[in-house]
């Protein structure tokens, strides 16, 4: 039990759209556990709220219900749903990483620096950070001619690998992965799998959404199946609010 780093109990998320005066359900009744060095896979049909769970944990979404109990590096347990914004920012910088499907970065920053940035904010020197970034890009088979170029013009698969490298470089304790291989070919996917396995061995706990069931089979230590949140319940809650 002592290696549990995240325990989600009864997470739910719904959006209230003021312009339509409507509640939009996004996820309901989600329970899951993540252990250090293990990967928990989220599966379920589109609309089941898989990304919503990851965003709730990262606090990009404000959870509507449930507890998200995270045990930090010092062994303190806190509810991510209630933690202060400064505490969340600090955890994002040091402990919790998120690889999304989209890359937001400064327009003129070269790919190498985009990847190295999380290390810079942790106080690693620019040279050392660039060195590590280069090693990671090498392993992910990103052609060296792209390293000095801003990723804005990259292909989907290239951007995704930049995003992945940026998420992995700081070796977070908890890593959230939203379809990290969606636009990659088979060979590149194998590089990513090798990296994920290595991270697991290093003790990183992960929650991942994968496009292919085969990846779940190969990488997941636990599987959590989500079903779309119940619309009937939501209709009631709409009446409730109105």
Can you give the binding site for other proteins, defined by CB under 8 A? 15, 17-19, 55, 58-62, 85-90, 104, 106-109, 120-121
Q: How far is the CB of 238 from other proteins (least distance, A)?
A: 16
* SS3 state of residue 237: helix
208: part of which helix (H) or strand (E)? Answer: strand 205-209
Q: Which residues pair with 174 in a beta bridge?
A: 96, 205
Q: How far is CA 153 from the centre of its chain?
A: 24
Q: How far is the CB of 44 from other proteins (least distance, A)?
A: 21
Closer Cβ to other proteins, 129 or 140, answer by number:
129
The overall longest dimension of the chain from CA atoms, in Å, is 59
φ/ψ (deg, to 5) at 240: -55, -45
Closer Cβ to other proteins, 17 or 187, answer by number:
17
Q: How far is the CB of 62 from other proteins (least distance, A)?
A: 6
CA angle 228, 230, 232 (to 5 degrees): 150
What is the rounded distance in angstroms from the CA atom of residue 176 to the CA atom of residue 150?
Answer: 24
Closer Cβ to other proteins, 106 or 238, answer by number:
106
Q: How far is the CB of 54 from other proteins (least distance, A)?
A: 12
Q: Which of 177, 175, 12 is nearest to 81 (CA)?
A: 12
Q: How far is the CB of 203 from other proteins (least distance, A)?
A: 24
Q: How far is the CB of 142 from other proteins (least distance, A)?
A: 22
Dihedral Cα 35, 222, 216, 111, nearest 10 deg: -20
Closer Cβ to other proteins, 150 or 157, answer by number:
150
Closer Cβ to other proteins, 89 or 194, answer by number:
89
DSSP state of 221: S
Q: Which of 169, 195, 166, 192 is nearest to 181 (CA)?
A: 192
Closer Cβ to other proteins, 13 or 35, answer by number:
13
């Amino acid at each position: 039990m002592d290696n549990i780093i995240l325990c989600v109990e009864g997470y739910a998320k719904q959006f209230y759209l003021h312009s339509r005066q409507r509640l939009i359900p996004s996820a309901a009744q989600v329970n899951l556990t993540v252990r250090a060095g293990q990967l928990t896979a989220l599966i379920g049909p589109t609309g089941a709220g898989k990304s919503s769970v990851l965003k709730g944990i990262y606090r990009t979404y404000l959870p509507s219900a449930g507890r998200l109990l995270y045990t930090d590096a010092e062994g303190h347990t806190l509810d991510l749903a209630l933690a202060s914004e400064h505490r969340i920012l600090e955890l994002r910088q040091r402990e919790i990483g998120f690889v999304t499907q989209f890359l937001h970065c400064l327009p003129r920053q070269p790919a190498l620096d985009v990847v190295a940035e999380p290390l810079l904010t942790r106080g690693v020197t620019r040279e050392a950070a660039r060195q590590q970034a280069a090693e990671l890009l090498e392993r992910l088979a990103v052609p060296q001619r792209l390293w000095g170029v801003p990723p804005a013009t990259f292909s989907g698969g290239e951007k995704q690998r930049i995003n992945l490298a940026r998420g992995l470089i700081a070796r977070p304790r908890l890593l959230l992965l939203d379809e990290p291989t969606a636009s990659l070919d088979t060979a590149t996917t194998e590089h990513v799998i090798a990296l994920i396995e290595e991270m697991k061995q290093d003790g990183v706990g992960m929650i991942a959404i994968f496009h292919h069931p085969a990846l779940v089979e190969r990488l997941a230590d636990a599987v959590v199946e989500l079903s779309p949140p119940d619309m009937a319940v939501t209709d009631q809650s709409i009446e409730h609010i109105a």
